[in-house]
Amino acid sequence: MKLLTIAGTRPQLVKVAAVSRELRKYFTEVLVNTGQHYDYNMAGIFFDQLQIPKPEYNLGVGSMSHGRQTGNMVIRIEEVIEKEKPDAIVVYGDTNSTLAGALVACKLHIPIMHIEAGLRSYNKKMPEEINRVMTDHVSELLFAPTNLAVENLKVENITKGVHQIGDVMYDAVLYNMDIAEENHSLSDFQLSSKEYILGTIHRAENTDDVERMTAIINAFLSLDYKVFLPLHPRTKNKLNEYSLLAKLECASNIILSEPVSYLEMLLLEKHASAIVTDSGGVQKEAYFAKVPCFTLRDETEWLETVKIGWNQLVNPLNDNLVDLINSFEKKNYEENLYGDGKASEKIVQIIKNYFQE
**Catalytically annotated residue among 37, 114, 184, 202:** 202
Asked if 148 and 303 count as a contact pair (C-beta separation under 8 A), the reply is yes
202 is catalytic: yes
**CA angle 278–54–136, rounded 5-degree value:** 50
Cα distance between residue 136 and residue 59, in whole Å: 24
> Rounded CA gap, 177 and 54, in Å?
22
Phi, psi (degrees; rounded to nearest 5) at 143: -95, 105
Residue pair 56/29 in contact by the 8 Å Cβ criterion:
no
Question: What SS3 class is residue 146?
Answer: coil
For 101, the enclosing helix (H) or strand (E) is: helix 96-107
- The Cα 201–Cα 234 span in angstroms is 10
Which of the residues are catalytic?
202
